[in-house]
């Protein structure tokens, strides 16, 4: 039985991903300790960025966006023109 070895390219990509992850964790720790942002707020922002990256807002808000686009194309009812004379009364003085 032959053992399957990873190609060298995959090893370098994995090593680079691990280094980027560790560097990001350390940088985030120092930024949080200096700025004083709550971890929950930063986690929420990171989560929103990930959702935006994978396109979840499009899936969730897409039908609402399409409705607004359709509603914007409908002709609006016309209002009577205002001549600037103010309220019109039927009784003349």
* pLDDT digit string, tens, across residues 38-75: 878 888 888 888 878 777 777 777 787 788 888 777 66
Task: Tell me which of 22 and 37 has the higher pLDDT.
Answer: 22
For tokens 């709550």, the residue is 38
| Mean pLDDT value across residues 7-35 | 83
| Mean pLDDT value across residues 3-21 | 80
Which tokens belong to 91?
A: 């009784």
One domain, residues 32 and 43: no
- Structural domain containing residue 67: 38-72
Q: What is the dihedral of CA 9, 12, 14, 17, to 10 degrees?
A: -130
pTM of the full structure: 0.38
In a domain, 13, yes or no: yes
In a domain, 90, yes or no: no
Residue 15: partners with Cβ closer than 8 Å, 6 or more residues away: none
The per-residue pLDDT of the chain, averaged, comes to: 76
In a domain, 49, yes or no: yes
| Res 19: pLDDT | 93
Q: Which of 37, 33, 35, 36 is nearest to 46 (CA)?
A: 37
| Res 23: pLDDT | 92
């Amino acid at each position: 039985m032959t053992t399957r070895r990873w190609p060298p390219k995959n090893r370098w990509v994995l090593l680079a991903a691990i280094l980027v992850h560790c560097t990001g964790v350390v940088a985030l720790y120092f930024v949080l300790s200096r700025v004083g942002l709550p971890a929950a707020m930063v986690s929420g922002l990171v989560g929103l960025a990930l959702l935006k990256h994978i396109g979840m807002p499009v899936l969730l808000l897409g039908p609402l966006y399409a409705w607004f686009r359709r509603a914007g194309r409908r002709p609006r009812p016309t209002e009577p023109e205002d001549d600037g004379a103010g309220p019109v009364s039927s009784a003349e003085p």
